[in-house]
Structure 1
Amino acid sequence: MSSTLSKDAKIYIAGHNGMVGSAIWRTLTASGYTNLIGQSSKQLDLRNQDAVNQFMEATTPDVVIVAAAKVGGILANSQFQYQFLLENLQIQNNIIDAAHRNNAKKLIFLGSSCIYPKLAQQPLTEDSLLTGPLEPTNEGYAIAKIAGVKLCQHIKNQYNKDFVSLMPTNLYGSNDNFDLKTSHVLPAMIRKFHDAKLDNNAPVTLWGSGTPMREFLFVDDLAQAVLFAMQNQLPDHLYNVGTGTDITIKQLATTIQKATGHTGPIIWDSTKPDGTPRKLMDVSKLKQAGWQYTTNLEQGIAKTYQWFLDNHDTYKQVKL
């Protein structure tokens, strides 16, 4: 199962400036890998097939890690379905095909737990894929990611190549997006509670009822899972990556409120959508292969809030 990958192997991390890609870059560097390749979106438009092909032909990476994607929260996903479907298809199709044709030894495709049906049995197992309707608010993004999983599966089967897909649960951590219009629930809460604390502990209004259950994984733990998949030849094509535990959105809110030091009231706006009622991952398959998470939620939130404070003037904002 162990893979013979040298420390100077050429490793291309698509999306290396994002939250996930930068965590993978940090982790691989700390593990002694010395030949990492990254291109910013200004240097290489991953939606441009010719540009991606030329880049892959010129660099011929041994390993390709697909951490590049167009991402957003409920609001962005539901309002821009066309862009989320089209651009993610373009990005991943271009990278996966170019990696295949330029003989990359290994490719790791990163997706999301939203690929699974909205009402799939919990916890979500890999074999529940395509067994029911998706959550409508992020259907475009989910369909794109499903297509990426299937591309890698068929390359693995047809060409006997080590192309594997990792599906992480909800991620958070350093270099996250804290823009209130486009961010995911955890960083959005950090921003809201922080701003409200500075505003004399003003009330914080949060979307929905607070009853949905969610699972959260610190992004550095996902990076360790990518490292594990890179260093080992996993037998299957699809693996969930998470903690295997979840909490209610209300519990998340009180945990973040405590971490930020906000002491005002929390108001739940039940006119806003809740999204999927529960999204807990069955992570037994990857655990059986030899990997599991190490950072608990309180530790991860504390580290993320500290990063937010350290980068408060320059934190990432996404413009659609």
Structure 2
Amino acid sequence: MEMSFASIAALLAAARSLVITGHVHPDGDCLGSVLALYHGLVAAGKKVQMLIDDDIPAMYRFMPGVELIGKPADAKFVCDALVVLDASDAERIGKVGAAVEAPVINIDHHTSNVKFADYWLIDSQAAATGELILRLFREMKTEITEDIAICLYTAIATDCGFFKYANTSPSTLRDAAYLMECGAQPHLIAEQLDTRPLATLTALGKVLQTLEFHAGGQIATISVTREVGEYAQNTEGFINYPRTVEGVEVAIMFKEAEDKNVRVSLRSKNIDVSSIALSFGGGGHMRAAGCTVTGSLKDAQAKVVTAVTEALDRTPL
């Protein structure tokens, strides 16, 4: 059922115990939104558990409360609501769906959202799910503490490329300014996000050596083997390098994961990569999307590059 901010606020007000989750392979918007909502609901007297079915990247561990995020276990969580943030379908939350017995509330901004929840609030015009949480807090009259401001600023800034991407709107900038007034300090947040272990930079050199071009130079790909991925600890941001090459329309990063899966990240300048990701069971935005492909690295590369090439052939640039 499609819901308004007022009706979502009413559902949360009526719930006494909740689980909050986000998508696997969590990014800044996912984690910032989960943590901000957690702080807001705890302040309202709710019993809240955060679950993410994945490891938390080290670069986000500065956010207040991140150490409280758990992983789904064999035990069953029975509560009044499961709040799914920044995820466009049930598969994106991994094992959390099976671990929690509760009605599902979904708040998201992805164009590829399939409306899988019992209750949903989806706004694809928002630059980040963090923007929607801030609007929800205004409806709930939640005090925006410094901790909440840090989390929401991180959510919004990371999902619009620190205000460089086309999804940045005037309201995005106004929200960021307001969060600064509430205690978020952009320079400190940026320092945390930009700090990398030496191992990550060493791994970047290895990954850039895998750079390949397809479709007459319109597609650039890089690959991260499991060995390099484990050494790197964090590969977020690697995809930005092939994206900046002159003539490249779509950048793709392939990352080997466990269980013969390959995580795929796509970035484009003009074509809709969310539809490509959706065809592989993933999702995202028109210009930034991701999916997981089962099979070898070589197989995943062949399948996804073929799909992107076909999309380029259909799209006049």
Which range, TM-score by smaller chain?
0.3 to 0.5
TM-score by length of 2: 0.34
The higher relative CO (CA closer than 8 Å, separation ≥ 6) is in 1
> Which has a greater percent of strand?
2
